[in-house]
């Protein structure tokens, strides 16, 4: 079976065309069946392609001049969905010219364009942004929503859990991913009404392709004891950025400490392999590729500052979701959830 | 002026009587005017006091048998406010037998008991839990609320900002602390209606003893560019624990890396002073003492796992808040806020 090709917004991100094209080429070196639709300035894309002969015959260029700004309001960007590289990449998925889109551009604009072009899939009220985070164990943990929606009611949270579990089965290969709701305590009485209702619904549903383990607090996200952390977009964004900030804070302190004396500088050189291991484990490029789940099509957001290796990871995530048909998997799980309850879960308004 | 004494719940926390008494004694070695009311099992307190001759003549014991459990529901603990060491320590503040209370016990129970006994101060609708976190700079950053309230409207957030700024002036000595609201972006359109309303109110008020700088994202909390981070209790608790968890995650990875080979073990030994510096900076005992702000009295929560050094820090925080009369300072600032606007800020219901 030939894999449908992947549309790459070649203009998005801090690093621009060269890194996006190099990332695609890197992914293709590992998977030679990958095909690309590269969207953006033709001259610059062609120039970048000259360094990557393995992309010959594997890529088509869709030219456009317009680019979405990094700080642009999503509502403004949306008006240029038909002229910008981001909009055209997403539209290629809608029109079947590509199976998935990858962009390193403005997250809010990408979400807005993807929602408008691809629409939310049947059975899902709102899409969610899901990302991979490192843990103490071999596998990553998936957290969603990370900011696609500011709030979420119980019904949204249950749907996020189903989507996150489907994503985990595909990228981590777990048959029954361990799913938990992010809360400020693990007791049943903690948190908002929406969280307690969502927990009750997930506890009651027995035929789900996941193991629901109740609540998790945000200090346990990276321990490797949970595979999918489900939350509303506000709390998820707060938790994600707090983790990123604290990791950077500790490594900054470490750098200061290591350069504070000659002795510690020598110690640093000696322990180089150890600190390189740490750096590798924490490098966001090794966990790159946040996914918009719940749309009629696959859209992957690459970090704005990702290197070619990071972009290649994002492309591979897109390809796996496409190959494993994430949209139909989520649809099947939703159907099972409906059947279990005897009806579709009711909408529980947030308190 | 003699400092009113401090009531210490000698039974709370994971480490029990010995550590609480040792912490009080340590604080008294640094400040010999400190006086204590030690609440708990008399026999065990007396035994612990034998190791600390400097506490002679500086401490009275208030005996009781009952202790609040670490996992006990606040509502259950509340019924035993008159018989437990925690309840009696808080009650001593209410009755004027002590100026402040320190406990390392169950946070929810301590909050509930403190609210019931001391009541919320005039002009404050809800108290908040505030803690100190390390930054890249010399001074700590204050974050509140950390879980006293699950949600907060604009009026609550404005009051938290005033209380946090007063706390920062006392512990960090800043005349105009830099205050920001925690949000998922720094643009004015980001976040909830409550956050945007609170920002507008704080921006409009000109006579406040703080510098209001708008929003901050959670990856910037520890950079040292903000002195007070204001948020609702749910997001604050998520952010605090995410930071704690991520810091532990990185140090755990570091430990694994440093023990992965003989070379890295040697490197670790050579760079010991550097990693000790890091450990010192991250040690929660050096930032111990979360405070319930907005009550008619000072109550400080010590970490459940704090060492004697940590308890001493919590005692010193209590003493400083008492000496600098935090309650009246907050009252003055609230009055200034009301005058600025020409009226008391209106209640803006959360969206």
CB B148 within 8 A of CB B163: no
pLDDT beyond 80 at A275: no
Task: Give the range among A192-206, B67-81, B283-297 with minimum mean pLDDT.
Answer: B283-297
CB contact under 8 A, B234 and A235: yes
pLDDT beyond 50 at A344: no
CB contact under 8 A, A257 and B237: no
Say how far apart CA A125 and CA A160 lie, in whole Å: 10
Find the residue in A nearest to B231 (Cα).
A238
Candidate ranges B32-41, B141-150, B333-342; pick with highest mean pLDDT = B32-41
Find the residue in B nearest to A269 (Cα).
B267
CB contact under 8 A, A260 and B273: yes
CB contact under 8 A, B242 and A237: no
pLDDT beyond 50 at B225: yes
CB contact under 8 A, A250 and B278: yes
CB contact under 8 A, A247 and B243: no
pLDDT given at position A345: 44
Candidates B136, B242, B274; nearest CB to A221: B242
Find the residue in B nearest to A218 (Cα).
B242
Percentage of the residues of chain A whose pLDDT score is greater than 70: 93
pLDDT beyond 80 at A159: yes
To the nearest whole angstrom, how far is the Cα of A233 from the nearest Cα of chain B?
Answer: 9
Among B265, B274, B303, B304, most A C-beta atoms within 10 A, so best to mutate, is: B274
To the nearest whole angstrom, how far is the Cα of A234 from the nearest Cα of chain B?
Answer: 7
- Report the DSSP pairing between strands A298-301 and B141-144: unpaired
Mean pLDDT of chain B: 88
* B186 class by beta-carbon count within 10 Å (0-12 exposed, 13-18 middle, 19+ buried): middle
Task: Count Cα neighbours of B259 within 13 Å in the Cβ-side half-sphere.
Answer: 5
pLDDT band at B200 (very low <50, low <70, confident <90, very high): very high
pLDDT beyond 80 at A259: no
Find the residue in A nearest to B350 (Cα).
A351
Which one is the CATH code of B130-284+330-341: 3.30.930.10, 3.40.718.10, 3.40.50.720, 3.30.590.20? 3.40.718.10
A128-284+330-341 has CATH 3.40.800.20 classification: no
Domains A6-118 and A128-284+330-341 share a fold: yes
pLDDT beyond 50 at B28: yes
To the nearest whole angstrom, how far is the Cα of B252 from the nearest Cα of chain A?
Answer: 8
The residue ranking higher by pLDDT, B295 or A269, is B295
pLDDT band at A350 (very low <50, low <70, confident <90, very high): very low
* Rg, C-alpha atoms of chain B: 21
To the nearest whole angstrom, how far is the Cα of A171 from the nearest Cα of chain B?
Answer: 22
Which one is the CATH code of B6-118: 3.40.50.720, 3.40.50.150, 3.40.718.10, 1.20.1250.20? 3.40.718.10
pLDDT beyond 80 at B50: yes
Find the residue in B nearest to A134 (Cα).
B249
For residue B87, give Cα distances in angstroms to B16, B48, B78, B106: 16, 21, 8, 11
pLDDT band at A338 (very low <50, low <70, confident <90, very high): low
CB contact under 8 A, A243 and B242: yes
pLDDT given at position A137: 86
Q: Give the residue from B216, B221, B239, B187 showing the smallest Cα distance to A235.
A: B239
pLDDT tens track for A44-81: 999 999 999 999 889 999 999 999 998 888 889 999 99
To the nearest whole angstrom, how far is the Cα of A12 from the nearest Cα of chain B?
Answer: 20
CB contact under 8 A, B282 and A219: no
Chain pair A-B, CB pairs under 8 angstroms: 201
Domain regions of chain B by residue span: 6-118, 130-284+330-341
Find the residue in A nearest to B74 (Cα).
A189
Candidates A187, A257, A278; nearest CB to B278: A257
pLDDT given at position A343: 43
Query: Which run of H or E residues covers position B102?
Result: strand B100-103
Candidates A246, A268, A272; nearest CB to B242: A246
- b/e A45-72 (16+ beta carbons within 10 angstroms → b): beebbeebeebeebbebbebebbbeeeb
CB A71 within 8 A of CB A107: no
Q: List the structure tokens of A290.
A: 């946040």
Reported ipTM exceeds the 0.95 cut = no
pLDDT beyond 70 at B235: yes
CB A158 within 8 A of CB A337: yes
Q: List the structure tokens of B315.
A: 């005692």
Q: Please give the full DSSP string across A152-218, using - where no structure is assigned.
A: --HHHHHHHHHHHHHHHHHHT--SS-EEEEE-S-SSTT-S-HHHHHHHHHHHH--S-SSEEEEEE-G
CB contact under 8 A, A239 and B242: yes
Q: Which residues of A touch B192 (CB under 8 A)?
A: 150-151, 234
Find the residue in A nearest to B233 (Cα).
A184
CB contact under 8 A, B150 and A192: yes
Q: Which residues of B touch A274 (CB under 8 A)?
A: 254, 257-258, 260-261, 264, 267-268
Q: Please give the full DSSP string across A47-100, using - where no structure is assigned.
A: HHHTT-GGGTTTEEEEE--B---TT--HHHHHTTTTTBHHHHHHHHHHTTS-SE
Candidates A241, A273, A278; nearest CB to B219: A241
Q: Please give the full DSSP string across B282-342, using - where no structure is assigned.
A: H-GGGG--EEEESBSSEEEEPPTT--HHHHHHHHHHHHHHHHTTHHHHHHHHHHHHHHHHT
Say how far apart CA B134 and CA B93 lie, in whole Å: 30
Q: What is the DSSP letter of B55?
A: G
The residue ranking higher by pLDDT, A265 or B11, is B11
CB contact under 8 A, A244 and B219: yes
Q: Which residues of B touch A261 (CB under 8 A)?
A: 273-274
pLDDT beyond 50 at A24: yes
Among B109, B196, B271, B303, most A C-beta atoms within 10 A, so best to mutate, is: B271
The residue ranking higher by pLDDT, B234 or A346, is B234
Q: List the structure tokens of B161.
A: 């900002």
Q: Quick one: average pLDDT of A169-188?
A: 89
Among B149, B220, B242, B286, most A C-beta atoms within 10 A, so best to mutate, is: B242
Candidate ranges A149-158, B279-288, B336-345; pick with highest mean pLDDT = A149-158
Query: Which run of H or E residues covers position A229?
Result: strand A228-230
Query: Which run of H or E residues covers position B21?
Result: helix B17-30
Mean pLDDT of chain A: 88
- The residues, any chain, with a CB within 8 Å of residue A194's CB and separated by 6 or more, are A152, A153, A154, A157, A232, A348, A350, A351
pLDDT beyond 80 at A162: yes
pLDDT beyond 90 at B211: yes
Percentage of the residues of chain B whose pLDDT score is greater than 70: 93
To the nearest whole angstrom, how far is the Cα of B30 from the nearest Cα of chain A?
Answer: 29
pLDDT tens track for A96-122: 999 999 999 998 899 999 999 999 999
Q: Quick one: average pLDDT of A25-44?
A: 94
Candidates B220, B268, B277; nearest CB to A257: B277
């Amino acid at each position: 079976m030939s894999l449908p090709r992947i549309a790459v917004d070649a203009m998005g991100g801090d690093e621009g065309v060269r890194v996006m094209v190099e990332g695609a080429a890197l992914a293709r070196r590992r998977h030679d069946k990958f095909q690309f639709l590269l969207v953006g300035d033709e001259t610059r894309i062609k120039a970048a392609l000259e360094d990557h002969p393995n992309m010959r015959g594997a890529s088509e260029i869709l030219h456009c001049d317009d680019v979405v700004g990094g700080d642009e309001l999503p509502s403004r960007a949306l008006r240029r969905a038909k002229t910008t590289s981001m909009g055209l990449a997403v539209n290629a998925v809608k029109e079947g010219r590509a199976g998935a889109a990858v962009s390193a551009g403005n997250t809010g604009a990408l979400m807005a364009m993807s929602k408008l072009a691809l629409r939310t899939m049947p059975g899902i009220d709102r899409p969610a942004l899901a990302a991979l985070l490192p843990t103490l164990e071999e596998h990553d943990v998936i957290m969603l929503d990370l900011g696609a929606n500011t709030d979420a009611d119980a019904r949204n949270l249950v749907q996020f859990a189903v989507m996150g579990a489907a994503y985990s089965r595909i990228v981590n290969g777990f048959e029954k991913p361990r799913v938990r709701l992010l809360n400020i305590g693990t007791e049943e009485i903690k948190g908002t009404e929406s969280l307690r209702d969502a927990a009750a619904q997930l506890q009651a549903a027995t035929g789900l392709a996941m193991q629901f383990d109740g609540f998790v607090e945000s200090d346990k996200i990276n321990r490797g004891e949970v595979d999918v952390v489900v939350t509303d977009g506000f709390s998820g964004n707060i938790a994600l950025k707090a983790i990123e900030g604290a990791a950077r804070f500790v490594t900054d302190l470490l750098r200061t400490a290591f350069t504070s004396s000659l002795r510690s500088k020598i110690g640093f050189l000696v322990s180089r392999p150890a600190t390189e291991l740490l750096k590798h484990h924490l490098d966001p490029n090794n966990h790159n590729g946040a996914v918009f789940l719940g749309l009629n099509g696959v859209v992957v957001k690459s970090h704005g500052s990702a290197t070619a290796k990071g972009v290649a990871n994002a492309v591979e995530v897109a390809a796996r979701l496409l190959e494993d048909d994430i949209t139909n998997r989520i649809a099947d799980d939703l159907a099972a959830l409906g059947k279990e309850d005897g009806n579709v879960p009711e909408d529980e308004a947030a308190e």
